[in-house]
Structure 1
Amino acid sequence: MTKPPRYRLVVDVMVLMVRSDGRVLLLRRAGQVYASGLLCPPGGHLEQDEPVTAGALREVAEEVGVTIAPRDLEFCHAIHHRSPEGEGRMGMVFTAQRWTGEPVNREPEKCSALVWVDPARPPSDCVPYTAAVLERFCSGALLSTHGWSTTPGGAA
Structure 2
Amino acid sequence: MIHDGHGRYLLHLRDQREGIWSPGVFALLGGGRTLDDPCLEATLRRELAEEVPSLELTGLTPYAVEEATSVDGLAVPVQVYSGRWQGDPDTIDLQEGVLLRWFTVDVLDRLGLSPGLGDLIRRHAADHSPASSPPHGRRLLRHEAPEGTELHIVGVHLYLQDEHGRTLLGLRHPDSAYAGNQWHFLAGHCEREEAISCLVREAQEEAGLIIERGNVELVHLIHLVDSPSARPRIGLVFRARSWSGTPSILEPDRCVEWRWWNPKDLPAEVVPYTRQAIEGIVAGRLYSQMGWDRR
Conservation of the 8 A alpha-carbon contact between 1:43 and 1:56: yes
Would the aligned equivalents of 2:207 and 2:249 in 1 still touch at CA under 8 Å? Answer: yes
Contact 1:19 1:97 in 2 (8 A): no
User: Residues 20-79 of structure 1, C-alpha deviation per residue, up to 9 Å, x if partnerless?
Assistant: 10001100010332011000010111002x111111111111111110111111110111
Q: Under a length normalisation based on structure 2, what TM-score does the superposition of the two structures give? A: 0.48
**What is the deviation of 1:109?**
1.1
Alignment partner of 1:35 is 2:156: no
Give the gaps of 5 or more residues in structure 2: 1-145
- 1 or 2 for the larger relative contact order (CA 8 Å, sep ≥6)? 1
- Structure 1: how far apart are the matches of 2:249 and 2:167? 15
Query: Which residue number corresponds to residue 121 of structure 2?
Result: none
Q: Tell me, which stretches of 5 or more residues in structure 1 are unaligned?
A: none
SS of residue matched to 1:53: helix
Number of residue equivalences: 148
From 256, 265, 270, the counterpart of 1:126: 270
Q: Which residue of structure 2 aligns with residue 24 of structure 1?
A: 167
CA positional deviation for 1:5:
3.0
Runs (4+) of structure 1 exceeding 3 A deviation are: none
Deviations 1:81-132 (A, max 9, x none): 1114643100110011311111111111111111110112221100111111
SS in 2 for 1:103: coil
Post-superposition Cα deviations, 1:128-155, rounded to whole Å, max 9, x if no partner, equal: 1111111111111011111111xxxx43
- The alignment's TM-score, normalised by the length of structure 1, stands at 0.89
In the alignment, does 2:152 pair up with 1:9?
yes
Mapping of residues 67-78 of structure 1, within 5 Å = 67-78=210-221
1:88 to 200, 209, 232: 232
RMSD: 1.4
- Distance in structure 2 (CA, Å) of the matches to 1:145 and 1:101: 33
